[in-house]
Amino acid sequence: MNPKIQTKELDFHYGKVQALKKVTLDIKEHQVTALIGPSGCGKSTFLRTLNRMNDVIPNARLEGAVFLDGLNIYAPEVDVVEVRKRVGMVFQQPNPFPKSIYENVIFGPRMLGLNHRTNLNDVVEKSLRASGLWDEVKDNLGKSGMALSGGQQQRLCIARALAIEPEIILMDEPCSSLDPISTLRIEELMQELKGKYTIVIVTHNMQQAARASDWTGFFLLGEMVEYGPTSEIFSRPKDKRTEDYITGRFG
């Protein structure tokens, strides 16, 4: 299995606060990688460095490199918009635009210049089918995305991310505001999607990491403490801190 993303000695500062310390990590293609750790450990910050979402934060500073298929996405000649086209993202709170379901899904393709109506219709159907929302909304594509339930909204956001045909999908605690049934639905979806995409998910829920991921990385105080196959991390952690965390001794 090839590493799809590699980070090298990644440091990240918000002003004077260091949020990431020398994080080096290989993320494998067509796998689900879960990042776990207590609140404030840097796992979300790390995730957001992978599509340069932290660029919008004032006074933030990054050192080190992130390679996407061997290409450093922080190299000066790289266009951030091109990076984000290849790396989709799903956020903690479902954040559909206050537009119709249809408009939400085609937002990305339209920004990229795709305007042909039949093509767009195809994109909408394909993306909504992939996110498992099609059957629930196919007769109501003109309805506002805001009018859906929380779980449906999150799947709409996934469909919206899929519509730009990314290679990687980043998920930042995508289930933290959802009920258990919706959560399960998203976890199943990740399994369906990993055949085609590489998925990185941040979660504070260890059961979710154990259930849904192939690889797990444990973050603590901005450092990546341990990284390996999920089954090993949860059954035979090498580091004492990892063990303490997954057995619930802190966090």
Partner 1 sequence: MIKLSPKLMQKIAWGFTWAAGIISVLILVLIIGYVLAKGLPVISLEFLLTSPEGGLSGEGGIFSCIVATLWLIAITMAILIPLGIGAAIYLAEYAPDSKFTRLIRYSVDLLAGVPSIVFGLFGFAVFVMALHLSYSILAGALTLVCLLLPFLVRSAEEAIRTVPQEQREAALSLGATRWQTIVHVIMPAALPGIITGIILCVGGAVAESACLYVTMGGSAAMPTSLLSGGRTLAVHVFYLAMETNALDKALATGAVLIILIFIINLSTRWLSQRLQAKMSGGT
Partner 2 sequence: MPRYFVDRLSRHTVSIFGIAAFLILVLIALFILKDSLPALKEVGLIDILFGAKWYPSHGSFGILTMLAGSVVTTLLALAIAVPLALGCAIFLAEVAPPRVRSITRPAVELLVGIPSVVYGLVGMIVLCPFIARLSGTGSGSSVLAAAIVLAIMVLPTITSISEDNLRAVPVHYKEGAFALGATHWQTIYHVLLPAARRGITAAVILGTGRAIGETMAMIMVIGNSPIFPTSIFGPARTLTGNIAVEIASATGIHESALFVTGLVLFILIMLINGIGLIAYRRRV
The footprint of partner 2 on this chain (CB under 8 A) covers a number of residues equal to: 4
Task: List C-alpha distances in Å: 223 to 146, 217, 238, 248.
Answer: 37, 10, 15, 19
Distance from the Cα of residue 42 to its chain's centroid? 14
Measured distance CA(250)–CA(129) in Å, rounded = 40
Span from 94-102, 122-130, 131-139, 211-219 in contact with partner 1 (CB under 8 A): 94-102
For partner 1, the closer of residues 34 and 162 by Cβ is: 162
Residue pair 36/209 in contact (Cβ under 8 Å)? The answer is yes
The 52-91 contact track toward partner 2, x by CB under 8 A, reads ---------------------------x-x----------
The interface partner of residue 15, options being partner 2, partner 1, none and the CB cut-off 5 to 8 Å by kind, is: none
The interface partner of residue 140, options being partner 1, partner 2, none and the CB cut-off 5 to 8 Å by kind, is: partner 1
| Other CB atoms within 10 Å distance of the CB of residue 17 | 9
Structure tokens at 8: 């090298």
Among 28, 85, 129, 204, binds partner 1 (CB under 8 A): 85
The interface partner of residue 51, options being partner 2, partner 1, none and the CB cut-off 5 to 8 Å by kind, is: partner 1
Helix axes 150-162, 180-193, angle to 10 degrees: 20
Least Cβ distance, residue 136 to partner 1 (angstroms): 15
Say whether residue 93 binds partner 1 (CB under 8 A).
Answer: yes
- CA 43, 79, 115, 117 dihedral sign is negative
Among 31, 45, 49, 51, binds partner 1 (CB under 8 A): 51
Alpha-carbon Rg for the chain, nearest whole angstrom, is 18
> Which positions lie near partner 2, rule CB under 8 A?
79, 81, 111, 113
